[in-house]
Structure 1
Amino acid sequence: MTFTYQRSYRGPLKAAVLDWAGTVMDHGCRAPAAVFQAVFEARGITVSEAQAREPMGRPKWDHIYAVGTNPDVNALWKAKFGKDFEATDADEVYKDFVPHQISIIADYCDMIPGTVDAVHALRAMGMKIGSCTGYTPDIMEACRKAAKTAGYVPDAIFCAGDTPKGRPGPALLLANMIELDVYPPQAVVKIGDTVADVEEGLNAGAWTIAVAARGNEVGLSREAFEAMEATQRQALIDTASEKLSKAGAHYVVDSIADVPAVVEEINARLSYGGHP
């Protein structure tokens, strides 16, 4: 036989799995970046904001290990402590990180403009709303409360530690699919603001939408972002968009407010056999 045939999903998207910090709240994903810098500074190691942000989206222990083993940071560590940064060092830094993050997280629970309206629009299209985060459940407690007050209550929430591995692996997204009883992966879209979010979605076989302007890659508070001169702001957005696009995102938008229109486009592609 010359040809073989493959089953093709032709239905609409059934679920969106949203990241938290930098995607639906904490404009610029500022809370974790500040704490990563602080816990290294407490040990006499200066970490730049760019170095602190580079692994954003991963579980926080993994993030700390990635920062510590960054060649430049590791060189500082070795000069001060006489050895390379190791997993046991990440353990100690992580012990400081968690209580510090919990102590300040309530100050960074501002909802990103358009979140609640976008989620309502997705629900109106018949979609379930899942979510996942690199935060631990205890860090997430304040985030959940603030989101509920603002009108955002996802159908599922999975945190770092809820699965054996976190991002960039697919486990957290797949856990959402199981909890929401949604399949196949082509019927799911992952929405986030980091390279790790994009990789998570791709590794799960889902669609990916990256948000560039109001998340980690630009890294500004809402006030600073909106006060910036337009051409300077656009230059930052363009740089962020290029990075997320090169990571493999199927779509890159400015913010979550732009997501419903993209979902409509994905649904059109699915209807004629398109796939991630």
Structure 2
Amino acid sequence: MPQIQLAVFDMAGTTIHDENSVAKAFQRALNLHGYPKVTLQEANEKMGYSKPQAIRDLLLIHEQDSDKITDSLIEEIHSAFVQGMLDYYANDPSIRAVADAEEVFEALQNMGIKVALDTGFSRDITDIILKRVGWADGRLVNASAASDEVPMGRPFPHMIQKIMAELGITDPKSVIKIGDTEVDVNEGHNAGCLMSIGITSGVFSEEELIPHRPTHLAKNLREVLQIVEAYELQTKG
């Protein structure tokens, strides 16, 4: 059985506390640009995707004239979303890591497993979040990847592959992925990860994640650690 060398976690909703703020900001940006019928439910369903791709997907539903769906319009809506998120993550007092995140990261590090983050956010938002929660110094988080740093965001495997290359890890079967959305689970599958763990404390429920075939389901990060510990015991047994 392969040794786990790397755990790649999603950010908002998985390791960073989120009160639907991302989906609300996403919905607001579309509403303000002439698409008032975009619902919060639709925005939630696009969580985890790279945000420009998610904007394009929703415009294809809400814009009858496909000629109006231009790169320029998508960039304009995305810029409004990014500005809202930058303001939120820089200033909102509720920004914090989810329960047990740092303890789980430290436990994994002590087991010889590197910890990384990937996200549907762009790098500018990612860096603000890392600074706000004190993870920018490399002590608990060894690497991070943002969706604007790779050719394609989730569910494509490029962010995981970028992190692996940065950390010198070559075998995807030594990597596990953890996240709260369908695209997190599918990203793990597409990267060929040993495990693709769906966590049910974020956007998607257990019932919503099951059709995407997660290798495991966890209610919280503590359960993720238990899954890893059980696997490590099995490999040594």
Same topology, TM > 0.5: yes
Deviates further, 168-177 or 130-139: 130-139
Larger Rg: 1
Correspondence for 1:194: 181
Distance across 2 between alignment mates of 1:62 and 1:250: 26
Using the TM superposition, give the Cα deviation of residue 17 of structure 1 relative to its aligned residue in structure 2, in angstroms.
Answer: 0.6
The amino acid of 1:187's aligned partner reads: S
Distance across 2 between alignment mates of 1:132 and 1:11: 23
Using the TM superposition, give the Cα deviation of residue 47 of structure 1 relative to its aligned residue in structure 2, in angstroms.
Answer: 1.8
1:255 pairs with 2:220: yes
1:90 pairs with 2:74: yes
Correspondence for 1:185: 172
The amino acid of 2:106's aligned partner reads: H
Deviates further, 138-147 or 262-271: 262-271
1:42 pairs with 2:32: yes
Note closer, same or farther for the CA distance 1:57–1:182 as it changes in structure 2 (3 Å cut): same
Using the TM superposition, give the Cα deviation of residue 27 of structure 1 relative to its aligned residue in structure 2, in angstroms.
Answer: 3.1
Partner deviation per Cα, 1:98-148 (whole Å, 9 max, x = no partner): 212211123252211111111111112110111111111111222011221
Equivalent residue for 2:48, pick from 53, 57, 75: 57
Distance across 2 between alignment mates of 1:121 and 1:266: 14
Q: Indicate the SS of the match to 1:157.
A: strand
Equivalent residue for 1:155, pick from 124, 136, 142: 142
Distance across 2 between alignment mates of 1:148 and 1:43: 34
Using the TM superposition, give the Cα deviation of residue 46 of structure 1 relative to its aligned residue in structure 2, in angstroms.
Answer: 2.7
Correspondence for 1:209: 197
The amino acid of 1:103's aligned partner reads: D
The amino acid of 1:186's aligned partner reads: K
Paired residues, what number?
230
Question: Aligned Cα RMSD in Å?
Answer: 2.1
Using the TM superposition, give the Cα deviation of residue 149 of structure 1 relative to its aligned residue in structure 2, in angstroms.
Answer: 6.6
Note closer, same or farther for the CA distance 1:269–1:166 as it changes in structure 2 (3 Å cut): farther
1:132 pairs with 2:118: yes
8 Å contact kept, 1:194–1:244: yes
TM-score (norm 2): 0.89
Segments of structure 2 that go 5 or more residues without pairing to the other structure are: none
TM-score (norm 1): 0.77
Correspondence for 1:112: 98
Distance across 2 between alignment mates of 1:197 and 1:270: 25
Using the TM superposition, give the Cα deviation of residue 194 of structure 1 relative to its aligned residue in structure 2, in angstroms.
Answer: 0.8
Q: Indicate the SS of the match to 2:7.
A: strand
Q: Indicate the SS of the match to 2:206.
A: helix
Q: Indicate the SS of the match to 1:126.
A: coil
The amino acid of 1:109's aligned partner reads: I
Using the TM superposition, give the Cα deviation of residue 153 of structure 1 relative to its aligned residue in structure 2, in angstroms.
Answer: 3.4
Query: Larger % of strand: which?
Result: 2
8 Å contact kept, 1:31–1:105: no
Correspondence for 2:86: 102
Distance across 2 between alignment mates of 1:117 and 1:157: 18
Segments of structure 1 that go 5 or more residues without pairing to the other structure are: 1-9, 218-239
Partner deviation per Cα, 1:70-112 (whole Å, 9 max, x = no partner): 3xxx1xx43xxxx246243323211222212211123252211
The amino acid of 1:35's aligned partner reads: A
Q: Indicate the SS of the match to 1:145.
A: helix
